[in-house]
Amino acid sequence: MPFVKQVFSLPVFSIILARILYAVNWFNISSIFYLILIDFNQDISMLGLITSGFLIGIGLFQIPAGILAAKYDPRLIIVFGTMLLSISSLLSGVVSEISQMVFLRFLVGVGMAFFFGPSVILISRYLGKGSDGLGVGILNSAHSLGGIIGIFGWIIIAEFFGWRMSLMISGVLGIISGLLLYYAIFSLTSKSNANPSEGSGKVQDNAFYDSKNPLEMDSTENNSLSGFQVSIDSLRTLMLDKSMLIVALSLLGIQISWNLVSTFIILFLKSEFEVTSTIAGMIGVLTLIVNVVFAPIFGRLYDILRKKKWKKSDTVLLLTCGTIISVNMTFFSFSDTSILVPGIVLIGIFASGGFVIPYTMARRISVERLKMPSYEILAVSFVNGLSLLGAFWVPLLFSVLVKTFDYSIAWIIGGLLTIAFIIPIIKLKY
């Protein structure tokens, strides 16, 4: 079965592994933050500042990273991003001041920006025809799996070895994944591509490539990455397209809820329920556990509905996901575990669709509406960057609301902000 072989190929595995370690270095900081607060003698506002610095880095560099990936070689950009975020995470373990931590988390975000866009494009190309949603779903599952390890696993590691050593460990593991990624997508694909008996074939439209070497295009194609030139007019068309902006806004709503839950849930559980770190970690990772399972399901569901040509399928799915997430966030204000735990599970399930759908919609708009297939990397990077950068102020607001009022008010405001940015999706027209 060629498709199964592609799913379990070393290039795909290396991308998934790098994505898992990417997520570990994303989420582990929130799980060990209670230890960092003690060390630096700070309050929750420090967590808001560090998170905002991270979001600015990952959001601000999505477009530059996408341009470089489209103009040169996505493989080079993804390896660079992996190494930058991993080294910055490692150095976060030796900081002596808050400002240093904020700056290094900013660099972690920059590295993740350089990883994200190319990873979405490369995994879809390695998987082959008709796998847009599945590719994004697999990446989201890997992200959630890394988050589970980062939240629950790093609580245990930090308790044993201290929070500084735990960050250094995650950085070293990220570097190792970067080296494997380099070997798999450069050395290995080059060797297999050199073997004439292996065969080749363009997979889908102008956007997909040889499964052995996804960057090796048919010589007749005009949009080869090696010859790609960024047009200011085309970039302006992409970034000012109404449909693209609506998709980015909807993703911003999902980012708001996801970042608030993943960043503050551990501290919330320890502060309001006075549970142990282990119990807080076990509850906190429920969102990510179900996300691992349901991200590919939502991805495949999207692919199936698209084939059935139901024009409003993506809009209805995304609006449903956003509404359920928003309602359950506001329920956190009751501070009741009988409501909180099911709410965390539901948020994880429907956040799966909340991420998969906008990314695939951005690619469709670029290729089908704007007729700009060579800008698909930039399309994904643009909506992701705008949503992340647009959410940088929310952790600061949340921490201020907690200090001024309490967690109940903060969760209600977070839920309302989530649905407010998703509602405009009803106006989407391809």
**CA distances (Å), origin 82, targets 22, 77, 110, 316:** 7, 9, 10, 35
Which segments of 273-336 does DSSP mark as H helices, in order? 277-284, 286-307, 313-331
pLDDT digits over 345-400, tens only?
A: 999 999 988 888 888 888 888 888 888 887 877 888 889 889 988 999 999 999 99
What pLDDT is recorded for position 118?
Answer: 85
Largest CA distance in the chain: 68
User: Is residue 225 over pLDDT 70?
Assistant: no
Lowest mean pLDDT among 4-8, 35-39, 50-54: 4-8
DSSP state of 92: H
* Cβ atoms < 10 Å from Cβ of 250: 29
Please check whether residue 124 is in contact with residue 256, taking contact to mean a CB–CB distance below 8 angstroms: no
pLDDT digits over 390-428, tens only?
A: 999 999 999 999 989 989 999 999 999 999 999 999 887
Q: Report the C-alpha gap between 143 and 148 in whole angstroms.
A: 9
pLDDT band at 328 (very low <50, low <70, confident <90, very high): very high
Distance between start and end Cα atoms, the chain: 35
pLDDT digits over 191-204, tens only?
A: 554 443 333 333 33
Q: Report the C-alpha gap between 77 and 59 in whole angstroms.
A: 16
Q: Report the C-alpha gap between 221 and 230 in whole angstroms.
A: 17
* Cβ atoms < 10 Å from Cβ of 359: 27
Amino acid at 360: T
User: Is residue 239 over pLDDT 80?
Assistant: yes
Going by C-alpha positions, the residue among 107, 85, 108, 104 that lies closest to residue 95 is 104
User: Is residue 2 over pLDDT 80?
Assistant: no
pLDDT band at 251 (very low <50, low <70, confident <90, very high): very high
Q: 3-state class of 189 per DSSP?
A: helix
**CA distances (Å), origin 373, targets 287, 366, 386:** 34, 6, 20
Contacts of 305 (CB under 8 A, 6+ apart): 313, 314, 317
Please classify residue 291 by burial: count the beta carbons closer than 10 Å to its beta carbon, then call 0-12 exposed, 13-18 middle and 19+ buried.
buried
pTM: 0.77
The DSSP code sequence of 238-281 is HHH-HHHHHHHHHHHHHHHHHHHHHHHHHHHHHHHS---HHHHH
pLDDT digits over 106-138, tens only?
A: 999 999 999 987 887 788 778 765 566 677 778
Angle between helices 313-331 and 242-272 (to 10 degrees): 20
Q: What fold, for 2-193+228-427?
A: Growth Hormone; Chain: A; (1.20.1250)
What pLDDT is recorded for position 430?
Answer: 59
